Structures are given as structure tokens and as C-alpha cells.
Amino acid sequence: MRILHLSHNGLPDMRVERAAQTAKKDGHTMCFSGPFIKGTGFPIRSFHKFYELPFNKFANAKIPSYWGTLKRKLSRILDQYRPDLIHAHNIVAAKLASEFSISFIYDDHEYWSKRFKAQARIGKPNKMYIRWLWTRWEKEVLRKAPATITVSRTVAEEHKRLCKHVYVAPNFPSRIESESLKMNFRKDNLSSVYVGTDCSRPSSSPYRNVEGLLQIFHDNDVGTLTVLGDPTLCSSRNIKSLGFLPHQTMMQELTKHHIGLLPWKKHWFHKYSNPNKPYEYTHAGLLVLTVSDFPCVTRHLEENCIVFDNYQELRELLLFYADDLDEINELRVKIRKFALENLTWEKRCESEILNAYSRT
């Protein structure tokens, strides 16, 4: 089968690439189409062709001239590549795919209508329009798609109200990404790590609120914090900012630390969220400290994560582990073994992807 992966985001995108690698292993042929291709994050080639498409804020809002250009260019790609199936990633790509006669599945990386509701300050008319439009599209796509793939059980249960066949593929790393890692065991001060862009800018997403996190490390003897992926954060006392790193470089960097943080303050949207960072942390052998209202994360990680309700509790946990690095290093082997046995894309996600394909 010839499969076109269609996304209104470009490459690299690890979820897109893992799904493509799954289908490739099953004997299918893959191509990708999106707004840009800036290389890939997966260490093995998954796509044999790439096509650029002019997704932009105007096309994504279905402004007629831009949407018409997008449809014409996709039509030419479909005529040239002749896919049997479109694997549409996220809502704009799925809406676009739904306007053609080729079968498609919807891969929902986010729960778009709930995510919009969770965002702060969307009072500008254009943002209010997008919220209304994409929420309407979400219902249309779920009704029309033969199958939907999403990231968590809580989202799947809600999507099943509109789509009969919904499959859950969490953002677990693949064994290919994980097995190449070389473990590092530090004996000096406690070292924590956070992957995200939230520390240096006021977040428009209250469900990713880390206000006060850096202060914990500035003001207390809790070791150091390394932040990955934040291009504008400057290093300071007990804070080391490394900016953006390619995916495999980032994964290897994680192994140099003791604790991986999911420190977003409590928010109702966490019920639906299933971020990839805690699973990347466990594959690097890190103990995960997470806010307590992530049911997906705590269910998947079991005893390999420690929960807290607020930053006072987080501070106390960091103080505790700063005095017992030997215990942390002993846990690391167990945590990594658990991740390789239970939290891999191959074990938990590949069958879900292929089962979704079988519904088309």
C-alpha cells in the first residue's frame, strides 16, 4: 500500500516518523507532504519522497484563495504519487484530506477543541475564529474518518462518541531511538533536566505553567537544572540552558542527569494530555518527578515516577534526593529496563497504527 503522510506541521516530527517507520516495516511505501522539510529526527529513513505544501496561517484558516491553492497542489501530488491511503496528522491536514475521495485516517496529536478551551487570552477575533473553525472541523473529521488515532485513553473515550474506531498510540520512543543511548552515571551533585520552551516566555497555555520553577534552583541547595529546547533562555546560577538539540542528541544529553521534570502546575487539561517528555526521561534512565494530575503518565510509569501537588512539595523532593545520589543511580538501571520492556513504540503503538489502517 502507498501511504501519504500529510501534516500542517513539517519535519522533523518524531510521531509522524515513528508511524511511517511502522508502516514501512509492514511492507508499505511512504511519502510525506507538509509545509517544510528540515531533515528528520528518526535515525532510519522512513520516506522515499517528500512534497512541500503551502500550509500557512491563511490556508489553515481556510481563507478561500489560500485554501484553493493548497487543494490544487495536493491534488497534483495525489495524481503523481497515487496513494492508497492518507495518514492525516492533526486537524488542518485531516480536514484537507477529507475533501478528497481517497481514504484517510485522522492522527490527533492534540485534542484541539479542548486545547483551545484551555488556552488563555484568545480574545483576538482571528483566534476566536480559528477556535470556532477547528472545533467544527474536529467534529466533521471524527465523523468522516474510518479510524482515528490519538495519544491517550481519556481522549479516545471522548472521540468514540463521534468515531467508531479509535486507537491509542502514546508518544513512546522507539527501541531504535533508545538502544543507541549510552548511559552516564554521575556521582557529583544532583542534576535535574527539563525539556521545553516554557521557562523564558510568558506562556499562552496555562496547562504548561512553570512560573517559579527556576527560582527553586536559584534559591535552594537542590543541585542544578538543565533546560533543553528553549532557544531564548540564558544560563544563570544553577541553571544551564542548552537551547534546541537534534532529537538523538537531546536523548543522549538526558542520560547525563538524574531527574526528569514534568513540572507544569495543575490544570484540568492534563486529564487529556500525554506529553512525550516523561517517556523520553525513563528511556534515559531518569527518575521522573511529575505534577500529580497526569493520569496517563502516572498509569504508564507506575512506581518509576514520583508525584507532587505543588512547588513546595517539588522543592522538598529535590532536597531529599540531593542527599541520596546513590539511591538515584541504583534506580536508573531499573527505570531504563522498565522503559525498554514496557514503554516502546513497537510494543504499545505499532499494532494500534496497523489496526487503524485495516479499517480503511
Instruction: Determine the pLDDT at residue 174.
Output: 97
Tell me the three state secondary structure of residue 227: strand
> Where residue 200 falls among pLDDT bands split at 50, 70, 90?
confident
314, three cell numbers: 517539588
> What pLDDT, on the 0 to 100 scale, is given for residue 325?
87
| pLDDT value at residue 120 | 58
Q: What is the pTM of this model?
A: 0.95
Identify whether the C-beta of residue 131 lies closer than 8 Å to the C-beta of residue 111: no
Averaged pLDDT score across all residues of the chain:
94
Question: Contact, 241 vs 36, CB < 8 A?
Answer: no
**Predicted confidence (pLDDT) at residue 123 exceeds the cutoff of 60:** no
- pLDDT reported for residue 201: 78
- For residue 164, what pLDDT is reported? 96
What confidence score (pLDDT) does residue 211 get? 93
Question: Would you place residue 353 in the very low, low, confident or very high pLDDT band (cuts 50, 70, 90)?
Answer: very high
User: Hunting for cell 533562555 — which residue is that?
Assistant: 233
With cut-offs at 50, 70 and 90, classify the pLDDT of residue 107: very high
3-class DSSP state for residue 284?
coil
**Which of residues 184 and 187 earns the better pLDDT score?**
184
Q: Tell me the HSE value of 10 on the side-chain side, using a 13 A CA sphere.
A: 13
- Which stretch of 2-11, 107-116, 147-156, 169-178 has the lowest confidence by average pLDDT? 107-116
Residue range 125-150, pLDDT digits in tens: 678 889 899 999 999 999 999 999 99
pLDDT the model gives residue 195: 97
Average pLDDT over residues 287-315: 97
Q: What are phi and psi of 131, to 5 degrees?
A: -60, -45
Cell numbers linked to 295: 493520569
**Greatest distance between any 2 Cα atoms in the chain:** 63
Cell numbers that stand for 191 in this block: 542534576
Cell of 287: 527518575
Backbone angles phi and psi of 250, in degrees to 5: -60, -45
Rounded alpha-carbon distances, angstroms, from residue 356 to 76, 140, 145, 148, 268? 26, 18, 10, 7, 29
Which are the contacts of 348, defined by CB distance < 8 A and separation ≥ 6?
169, 170, 172, 342
Q: At what angle do helices 325-342 and 311-322 cross, to 10 degrees?
A: 110
Query: Where does the pLDDT of residue 309 fall: very low under 50, low under 70, confident under 90, or very high at 90 and above?
Result: very high
pLDDT of residue 358: 97
Kindly provide the residue ranges of all beta strands, DSSP E only, lying in 146-217, ordered along the sequence. Answer: 148-150, 166-168, 191-195
Check pLDDT > 60 for residue 122: no
Q: Judge whether 221 and 322 are in contact, CB under 8 Å.
A: yes
- In order of their start, the domains of the chain are 2-172+345-358 (3.40.50.2000), 175-342 (3.40.50.2000)
Q: What is the reported pLDDT for 105?
A: 98
Phi-psi region of 27 (alpha: psi -120 to 50; beta: other; left: phi over 0): left
**Lowest mean pLDDT across 13-22, 34-43, 176-185, 201-210:** 201-210
Alpha-carbon span 343 to 331, nearest angstrom: 17
Answer yes or no: is pLDDT of 300 > 90.
Answer: yes
**What digits encode the pLDDT tens for the residues 251-291?**
999 999 999 999 999 999 999 999 999 999 999 999 999 99
Would you state the pLDDT for residue 327?
84
Question: Mean pLDDT throughout 194-217?
Answer: 89
Give the span between the Cα atoms of 71 and 61, in whole angstroms: 13
Q: What is the DSSP letter of 211?
A: T
pLDDT at site 125: 67
